[in-house]
Structure formats: structure tokens, C-alpha cells
Structure 1
Amino acid sequence: MRVLLSTYGTRGDVEPLVALAVRLRERGAQVRMCAPPDEEFAARLAGIGVELTPVGRPVGELMRGTAPPSAADLARYRSELVDAQFGAFPAAADGCDTLVAAGLAQIAARSVAESAGLRYIYVSYAAVQLPSPHHAPPPRPGWPGPEADGNRARWEHDARLVHAEFGEALNGHRAALGLPPVDDVHAHVITDRPWLAADPALGPWRKTPGIDVVQTGAWSLPDERPLPADLMTFLAAGAPPVYVGFGSINAAPELARATIEALRARGHRALVSRGWAGLGLIDDRDDCFALGEVNHQRLFRQVAAVVHHGGAGTTATAARAGVPQLVVPAQLSDNPYWAHRVATLGIGAALDGPVPTAAALNAALGTALSPRTRARAEALSAEIRTDGAAVAAGLVTDGLG
């Protein structure tokens, strides 16, 4: 069996497909992947022996800028990406049986699969990305906000925006492939039977008429890498510190400074993850430590709390570790959703926006660092599954789901 996996996004978008690729290969499948051409993704796939077909611009170009892309820039990037997908996918899919596409940015995937006679599977990493009357659509950068009241109306409005953005380009390429036009790009991409690669205890799907969601659990791999020696020395030198990191989000340096100062006021040490924003220490005091890429599965079990941006992967890893969380969500995609889930489950606290006031930050830290929150986080960790990628691989190779 040959499977083509495809996504476009940051590490949080790529890493779950890496986990699926490993589990598919364990079941004897051959795997290729379409992903952004960033060097770290190419190295990651080379490390597991999976062939990469680079598609689109490097994501780092978009995320590491000094200012977020304008709405016009984002519209141009999206248009370029659709053209790049239709240019790259047919050759990448040659000889494959199944195409698994992750994320709404995969506009071309279903059409290429349809043209080639492949099975097509769409996967989301968060329930909020799938239409339901139980939640509103997630915020999409560069697009206008909702113009309707009620979740159903907002999803209808969101679908119109998606179609207005991609419909003409998609149908032009479909015509070139001899395929009929579609009148709802969003419904076309996600299908009426999408998969949800999120943990049922952390981010459950609520049944919704008209859409039959297959929830497999989150896709991840065990990470056995040791922590760096200097980090181990810092951890051993005092009480468990608080991890502060915002992944691929271009977080403002002021946020890290404010968080460190608030932690110091409470007597806590801090670990500052540099991330794509290149965050660092605010002075030379020995109660803080800056770190790069490390094993979060191992590290999070040794910290007092995790302060992060609300990425699906970080949220799930912290939940599995049983450590309290404070989510300062970026106002895009599923970040506000995961912030809400953390607060609702009582495993941490969430702030309303990416630039909290000192009072709000202090209050949220108080909640996250309370004994009650830690007890709830430890209790929930026992419910978090680790077999999601294996379950999904079985569904793919057995032709189920």
C-alpha cells in the first residue's frame, strides 16, 4: 500500500503526520509526504526515511516576520499555494492508493485524489475546525469577522468566505482535470466524514447532524531523547520551574518579560523557550534558563506549569504530563479553542488575548499554580490516550473509517 500525506503549516501541523507515517510504515505501507520546504521539516522527514515533496513557500517566512502578513499578502499566499498544490500533488500521488490531507489549506488534495482514483481522507487536529452548532468557526487571519449571530449562521458565513477565496481557482483547476465544479469549497475539502486527530478526553467531538466524524485520538510518537545536561543542572538546582514558550507564534518579547516578572513575584523560576520568535532571557539572574528544541514529553513532567500559545500539540503534551497550563492564545486557528478547553476542564487557566494586563496575568498564574489545578491536571492525564496514530494507521491500511 502507498499513502500520500499532505499538510501545510508549522511544526504543529507536520508532526502529527510524522507520527502517522511511522505507524503506517510499521504496518508495511509506503509513505510520501507533501509539506512546506522549511529545512527543519525536510530534516525531520529524512530522519524517519519518508520522501518529502516540498509544496509552497517556507512557513518560516510567514511566521518569523517582524509584522504579521497583511490581508492582501495572505490572499496572495493562499492563491499561490493552491497553484503549487495542483502543480505538485499529481506527481506525488502517482502510484498511491490513499491521500490523507490535514488542514483546510489542502484545497487541491481532494480534486487530485478524485482525478487519480485515490481514497481521500481529510483530518482536522481540533473539533473547532469542523462545522457544528456547538461552536463557532475559528478565527482566520486576514478574513473579516462574523456577520451573523448563532453558530449555524456563522458557519454558513464562514463557508461563503472560503468559497469566495478559493472557489474560482479550485474550479479552474478542476475543469483542467475534467472534473465538475464544486459550489461549496469548505464542504468539498472536509467531506461529510472527516477524521479528528484529537484526544476525546481533551477535545471531544459532539455529534452533529450531517457530519460523521471519526475521532481517532491525537497523533503523536513517544520521545525518548534525553534532556541537555545544562538544562538538567538547572532543573536540579531548585524547585520545579515554569515553562514559558510560544512555539511558532511570533510572540512579543514583552509577553515573555511580563510572564517572567510575574513568576518571580511569586517565587518561581522560569524556563524560556526561544521558539520561532527568538525569545530570550531578560537579564542575567540565575533563576531563568533559555532553551531551544528539547523533548517536551520528558521536560513537562518536571515543571510546575506550562505557559504557551494554545497549540494542539503543546496542549496535548502538557495534558499527558499531568502539568497545569496557562494558555495565552494567539487569535488564530484553534488556539482560542484549546485555551477554552484548558479552562473548562480545570487543568489550567486561559487569557482572552495575546497581550494580557499585569493583573490578568497574575490572576491566571494564581489559578494555574494552585494545588487544585494540579490535582485536576494529574487526574486528567490518566485519561489521555497515546494510541491515536496507531488507530489511524490501522483504519488507513484496513480501508476503514
Structure 2
Amino acid sequence: MELSGALASMYALLKDVAPLPDDDDEAERLAVGRAWSELGGELRKTAKQIEPTAEHLTATNQGTDTDAFQAMWHGEEGPSRRLAAGATVADLTAAGTMAVVVLRAAWKLLVLYHLAVLAVALARALAAGPLGYFIWASRLVGVRLALRTLLLQARKHIGEVVIGTLVRAKGILTGPLFLIGPVYPAGLVLQYLTAYGLEPSDEEARRKTEELLAQTPMGREALAWAREHGVTVLFHKGEIGNLSEKTRTAGNYNDGLDVLRIGLTDQRSPEDLAETFVHEVNHARNQNTPDPLRMGRQEYIEAAIAEEVEGNVKKHEFAQQLAEIRNPGVTVLDTYRSAYENAINKETQNRILAKQPPLTGGEEHRIGDQAARAALREECIAAGYEKNYGTEWDRRQLLLLNPDNW
């Protein structure tokens, strides 16, 4: 596809927020989709061809060997069943590939529509004079913002198609996803494997964690919110992180996939797992915010750290509620509480020396909470969150500008 002169000039103003997929890539995807569809048909054809031979063999022979063969043939791992499963996976992969092509084609048409509208609007603006051009420039800003938002949505939907296909196919195949990997960009496959893993969720850890959550108002509310909003929650033994570099991550939340993971379940107490759950649900409540594509670098970093701090505050409040249920009057001494009490004690001493009235309950909470949040923020910075969120902002900006990362 080649753009005409007028559309090409409009596209020069939008290409950073509206990249057009390469036509050769689309042709290749269509060919791949057809190949997978044909493979599914061939596998079904083969299954039908070998079935009569197997029936003839068992009908004309007797003995323990024949019985063993028949049990194997009709078992869950029998050749005919495996071929049928492979055919279904091939069909799913073909459908997923075609769906991606359709979504990308729809994106192209949408961009072309906006280019045409802008070209016509510019012609009218030039005829109307300076005011008309100002109105057109305002429209251009609006179109850029709309396309930037739609681009993110398009990528998300393409990711959902790919991930959905992989999830369904994984339910059919018991072995590694050796059939599916070559079809999609490696990054999306890695994203799927990172989010879900090949190992099952630790359901015993889930049961113990949910029992603890149900004991406190904050835990019950977090658990109910996650269920009501359809958040996928997975509990993993050992470390979680990306496939190339595992990290000792207590938990994380994937905004794009709406998946919350709790890690190191084989090394941590149910209390610790429950606190992590409450913290990560706070991230889920703020899904897709803050947005690195709508904010400056430092603005995004500060907002992301503030979200981390809020999650840690909620984690402290849950721990305090649980401690009081078990032992009324007990205080959980952690970073939040220590900074909270130190700030109140310091202000109380200052008021005594200045012969001022003592702190009211509201003043104590305001001063203590402010100091505690400041301490939690410093703790996050010391743990490398500032650097990590800066890197994330850089990565998302590059992703927006590079259509090859679709």
C-alpha cells in the first residue's frame, strides 16, 4: 500500500502515534494461518486413515500384547486422540493468526480514515484563512491523542487474541507449547509464559491465604474485589519473574493480562502471602494507571512510587487488623508504625517544650501517617523502584514509536 501525496503529508504528522503495519508481514501471517489450517485438516485425515488399521489389528489378533495395544490405542495418550488434539491446536492457532491479521487491517483502515479527514479539513482550513488553520491544528492534536489511545487498545486486543489462543491450546496439549511458539512474536509467547507459567498454581497456599484474608475486614474486601472484577490470581512456588532472569519477587500484577501472582509460596508464611495479596490488589484497583504514555518521565515515576507506598500502607493495615484479632491491643511494628510513632513522639516533645496544647487524635494521625508514608517512599527508592519505573517509562515510549514491537 502506497499513500498518495496528500495522505502521505498527513501521515508524516501522525506516524509516531499511528504506525502502519508492513504489508509483507501481513502476507506472511496470512500464509502462516493457512498453513496451520491445512495442518489441522491433514492431522484429522491421518487420524481417520489409521483408525481402521488399528481396528483390524485388534479384531484379528488375541493375547496380552494385543490387549496392551488396544488399551494404549484407546487411552488418553493414544495416537488418534493425540492427533485430534493436535488438529484442534492447529485450528486454534490458525484462527488466532487470522484474527491478528483482521485487527491489524482494521487499524490500517482507521488510520487511513483519519488521514483522509485531516486532508479534507486542511484544504478547507486554508481556504478559510488563519482562523480555519488554527481550528485544523486543534483537530490535529485531538486526532493524535485519539490514535495514540487507540493504538494502545489495538495492541492490547492483539495480545489478548494471542494469549487467549495459547491458553486454550495449553488446555489441550499436556506437553510444552512446541507447536505454537513459531507462529507469534517471541515476546508475546514469553509474556504468556511469564504470566501463567507451565507449573500449576499452588492451591494449598491459596487455601491458607484466603482463610487468613477472610478473618479481617480489609482482607475480605480485597478478596471480594478481586473476585468481583475477574482478576486471575496465581500462587507460585519458588521465584517468579521473567524467564531469562528469575527474581525473588514476592508478588506482582500484570495490567495488560489482569493477572495477579503471589510468589515464593514454599518459603513464606500464609500471613506474608496474605499481606502481599492485599498489596497487589491495590495495583489491580489502579489498572493501567499511572500511564507512562500520558505522563512525563519524572511525573510517572512519582505516581508509580506513590501507588507502591499506598499498597504498603494497606498491607500494614491488614497486618494490624489480623494482629488485633489474634491479640487485642497488640501493635505491629514495621516501617510504617515505627515512623508513625517516632513522628508523633517528636512532635509531642516539641509541644511540651513550647508549652503548646497536646496533639488531638486527628493531628496525631495526620502527622504520623505523613511521616510513615515518607519513610515507605524512601524504602521504595532504596529498593530500586525509582530506577525500575524510569526504565519502564523508557521502554513504553520506545514501544509506542516502534511498530516492529507489535
- Report which of the two structures shows the higher radius of gyration computed on alpha carbons: 2
Q: What is the TM-score of this pair, normalised by structure 1?
A: 0.26
Q: Which structure shows the bigger proportion of residues in strand conformation?
A: 1
Q: Which structure shows the bigger proportion of residues in helix conformation?
A: 2
